[in-house]
Structure 1
Amino acid sequence: MKYMIMTFGDVTDWDTLGLGSGEATWSEEDIAAHFQAMGAFYDDLAATGELVTGYGLADPTHAMTVEIRDGRPVASDGPYAESKEVLAGFGIVDVASHDRAVELAARFAAIVQTRVELRPVMDGGAADL
């Protein structure tokens, strides 16, 4: 069963880590420890064969929204309009049970120090649920 583990953040979170346009507010040691913990989490999942993929996302100032208007694509700068929270990163795991997915999401939440969203990936449609 595949699940996506998503973490959300405020647009200023990238500055906290020195990844946005502002100055980092965490120490270099704290930033290094954070990325080391994330790397260890993904390394553990790769070792168990449960990791499908996972990435952090770029600063939301690089985001675009794309829609179709009058049959033509229209791209606009920025993440979703009026959104205070933005998707910061995600991982996709392939696990034996829902309980295991919850266990991994809890580990991820502890690392990123915030609530995460866990959602099943529908490989074959609604029958997956």
Structure 2
Amino acid sequence: MKYLILIYSNPRSRDIWDNFSDAERAEGWRLHGALVEDLAEAGELVVVEGLAEPSKSRTVQVTDGRTVTSDGPFAEAKEYLAGFFLIECESMERAIEHASRIPEATLGLVEVRPVLAPGGLEM
């Protein structure tokens, strides 16, 4: 089964990161890197990516066959998706085990969501 581990950010978590020392930032990246290595070794890693700041995003709307893009409005939320891991493992419990290793989990900013099977809403 595939699971998407979503990592969120918000102004508070961004401020924490910005105020870390170089050593604290290096430790955060080390923890992320160790998880990537372990997932790859276990054959459970499908893909992992970080995402650009929301200000780099574009909203896409199609009306009457015409595509219009804008830099907003964005969702009315302070939190935004900062990155993700797509993994394939045997259970939600195993996915949660991996997600708990992500440093942002200490701030409650990590979500695990099952990926739907192709062609349907069944998991």
Q: Give the TM-score, by structure 1 length.
A: 0.81
Q: Which residue does 1:114 correspond to in 2? A: 107
Between the aligned residues of both structures, percent identity stands at 42
CA contact (8 A) 1:5 1:91 kept: yes
CA contact (8 A) 1:11 1:86 kept: no
Kindly tell me the number of residue pairs found equivalent between the two proteins: 120
CA contact (8 A) 1:68 1:74 kept: yes
Q: Which residue does 2:48 correspond to in 1? A: 54
CA distance in 1, matches of 2:73, 2:79: 9
Deviates more, 1:64-73 or 1:7-16: 7-16
CA contact (8 A) 2:45 2:88 kept: yes
Establish whether residue 90 from structure 1 lines up as the match of residue 72 from structure 2: no
Structure 1 residues without counterparts, runs of 5 or longer: 18-23
3-state SS, counterpart of residue 82 of structure 1 = coil
3-state SS, counterpart of residue 127 of structure 1 = coil
CA distance in 1, matches of 2:27, 2:10: 21
3-state SS, counterpart of residue 45 of structure 1 = helix
Shift of 1:40: 0.8
* Higher relative contact order, structure no. (Cα contacts within 8 Å, ≥ 6 residues apart): 2
Shift of 1:107: 2.0
**Residue by residue, what CA displacement relative to the aligned partner does 1:86-115 show, whole Å, maximum 9, x if unpaired?**
10111011001222112112222xx12322
Structure 2 residues without counterparts, runs of 5 or longer: none
Q: Which residue does 1:9 correspond to in 2? A: 9
CA RMSD of aligned residues (A): 1.9
CA distance in 1, matches of 2:73, 2:45: 27
CA distance in 2, matches of 1:15, 1:70: 42
